[in-house]
Structure 1
Amino acid sequence: MKSLFTSILLALVGIAAAPAVQAAELWRATGLEQPESALFDAAGKRIIISNIVGNPGDADGNGYLSVLSVDGKMVTQHWTDGMDAPKGMAIADGKLYVADLTHVRVVDLASGKLTSTIDVPNAVFLNDVTADASGKVYVTDMLADTIYRIDGDRPELFVRDAALASPNGIFADGGRLIVASWGKGIKPDFSTGEPGGLLSVDLATKAIASLPGAEKFANLDGVVAIGGSVYATAYMTGTLYSYKAGGTPQAVATFKPGSADIGTDGKSTIFVPLMNDGEIAALGLD
């Protein structure tokens, strides 16, 4: 009996001490200009990158989109010009939606041509974009504790609540939105009085809830879900975290400060924009 108890104890210790999933760098693309978001386009077999090129809050006309191959080679540096400070992106109904300050830009996926601009009334600082299974588009307003929904070309308020705590990244996951919050009390240097965490917003009821164990741990930027894991970047420290329900966030990779709005192929690769370095790092998950 003692031997059995010892074996069980050792097994439990082994499980508790098991290391978190680690991420190995596969390649790194350089020559970008403040890349904020990396979106994997499965149909086009490419990665679309948003380049801010200047102050992230300035309507200066300098922003543009680039296209990389799936192995990190530059395909088109200036694929879509005419933006201000483009950030998060999502694909819905064959169109690319891009958050750009107080507008959502709509781009033709085949040509890269900017086809229309959706003005979002009362928007302050639109940041990330996602699309649900029905094709509805959601965009965060980081400085207004708000998420907007766009159906076709019609923007509407989806939810506004201080509990969103400066929502930055957003990712549609089944019947919910996963939100990466930056935190409360943003200061001029973008530090916060209280760090952010991972949240969920129910698409049907709009109820907001913290993901247990992932509350108030970092100033979060991008977020994606792969299988049963959620991955999020902490911009200020450059950390990429992994989280599973019932656990706590675990660091799986660390870069210099500036890791921004991540993308994924939905399988085993994450694309991390290193905004301050002008690079995109592709990570393979163990």
Structure 2
Amino acid sequence: MKSLFTPILLAIVGIATAPAVQAAELWRAGGLEQPESALFDAAGQRVIISNIVGNPGEADGNGYLSILSMDGKLVTQHWTDGMDAPKGMAIAGGKLYVADIAHVRVVDLQSGKLASTIDVPNAVFLNDMTADASGKVYVTDMLADTIYRIDGDRLELFIKDAALASPNGIFADGGRLIVASWGKGIKPDFSTAEPGGLLSVDLATKAVSPLAGAENFANLDGVVAIGGSIYATAYMTGTLYRYKAGGTPQVVATFKPGSADIGTDGKSTIFVPLMNEGEVSALGLD
């Protein structure tokens, strides 16, 4: 996501001309309410969507989760209610974890019922989530340059470092976390003094390193890795980028501003929440 302001998001941006990477839209699902994150549930063969419904930083009780089928049909609009402004999600140990401002909600994957809440006492703006191969879950706090780690129901501070530069998207990739940074010096309109880029956080040493060629190029939001490629969205411009090690970010497609926390089936499809349109677009990659 993640601007709390709408005036700067009104410009209409078309599909980029002659994109370096081709992506075809497979389907587009509508009828959602500020969809912020799309998570592929492999076991359930479905896509889980978080809906903010209001101010992304306000605990108003309006947020909920929806379920889409793999062909873009709205299966259940209100699958899980009782949230404030749900954003990123992760699945681990048969549970769904959801970032919700200053809490992590734990949802039963079978019933969709809210099972428990993990409070994050010092959280400012929890944003995206991911799970590593061991089942540990990580959540970014965008406005505190922080990443927390959850093991079962035990929360700990994983890293707090200004080098994270407003960490938004996060994706576990082998022995590292790939982080999509929004940038440094966030202004009232959510523009930045310095744009963000792609970072790597070593899971063992916690060392933060920029990915060469992908430093300081955009206010990044969601991020996923498929094979040797990293895909990331720039919310303010609606741009979806692809990056490969040793190269530079290439434009895959550009939507209207508001492309948020992307998900993937891990093969050839990316699910792009279009927050300001109330839609989710599924892209098939060449």
- Range of TM-score over shorter length: over 0.9
* Letter aligned with residue 258 of structure 2: G
Q: Which residue of 2 aligns with 1:3?
A: none
CA–CA distance in structure 2, aligned partners of residues 197 and 162 of structure 1? 14
CA–CA distance in structure 1, aligned partners of residues 163 and 154 of structure 2? 25
- 1:10-29 aligned at under 5 Å gives the runs 20-29=20-29
Q: Which residue of 2 aligns with 1:6?
A: none
* Letter aligned with residue 83 of structure 2: M
Deviations along 1:91-125, one digit per CA (max 9) or x if unpaired, are: 00000000000000000000000000000121110
Deviations along 1:112-152, one digit per CA (max 9) or x if unpaired, are: 00000000121110000000000000000000000000111
Q: Which residue of 2 aligns with 1:66?
A: 66
Q: Which residue of 1 aligns with 2:45?
A: 45
SS at match of 1:85: coil
CA–CA distance in structure 2, aligned partners of residues 279 and 247 of structure 1? 31
Q: Which residue of 2 aligns with 1:159?
A: 159
CA–CA distance in structure 2, aligned partners of residues 144 and 70 of structure 1? 35
SS at match of 1:276: helix
CA–CA distance in structure 2, aligned partners of residues 202 and 219 of structure 1? 22
Q: Which residue of 2 aligns with 1:138?
A: 138
Q: Which residue of 2 aligns with 1:120?
A: 120
CA–CA distance in structure 1, aligned partners of residues 211 and 23 of structure 2? 22
Please state how far the C-alpha of 1:20 moved relative to its aligned partner.
2.8
Q: Which residue of 2 aligns with 1:222?
A: 222
Please state how far the C-alpha of 1:27 moved relative to its aligned partner.
0.4
Q: Which residue of 2 aligns with 1:30?
A: 30
SS at match of 1:163: helix
What residue ranges of structure 2 are gaps of 5+ in the alignment?
1-17
CA radius of gyration, larger in: 1
What residue ranges of structure 1 are gaps of 5+ in the alignment?
1-17
CA–CA distance in structure 2, aligned partners of residues 253 and 225 of structure 1? 17
Is 2:82 the partner of 1:82?
A: yes
Q: Which residue of 2 aligns with 1:187?
A: 187
CA–CA distance in structure 2, aligned partners of residues 121 and 133 of structure 1? 27
Please state how far the C-alpha of 1:89 moved relative to its aligned partner.
0.2
Q: TM-score, normalised by structure 2?
A: 0.93
Q: Which residue of 2 aligns with 1:171?
A: 171
SS at match of 1:107: strand
Q: Which residue of 1 aligns with 2:245?
A: 245
Q: Which residue of 1 aligns with 2:103?
A: 103
Runs of 4+ in 1 over 6 A off after TM superposition: none
Q: Which residue of 2 aligns with 1:268?
A: 268
CA 149–21 in structure 1, closer or farther in 2 if over 3 Å, else same: same
CA–CA distance in structure 1, aligned partners of residues 20 and 96 of structure 2? 34
CA–CA distance in structure 1, aligned partners of residues 47 and 144 of structure 2? 29
Deviations along 1:21-70, one digit per CA (max 9) or x if unpaired, are: 21111100000000000000010000000000000000000000000000
Contact 2:19 2:253 in 1 (8 A): no
Q: Which residue of 1 aligns with 2:202?
A: 202
- How many residues align? The count is 269
CA–CA distance in structure 1, aligned partners of residues 159 and 247 of structure 2? 27
Deviations along 1:222-263, one digit per CA (max 9) or x if unpaired, are: 000000000000000000000000000000000000000000
SS at match of 1:212: coil
Please state how far the C-alpha of 1:19 moved relative to its aligned partner.
6.8
SS at match of 2:143: helix
SS at match of 1:72: coil
CA–CA distance in structure 1, aligned partners of residues 192 and 214 of structure 2? 17
Is 2:277 the partner of 1:256?
A: no
Identity of aligned residues (%): 90
* CA-atom RMSD in angstroms: 0.9
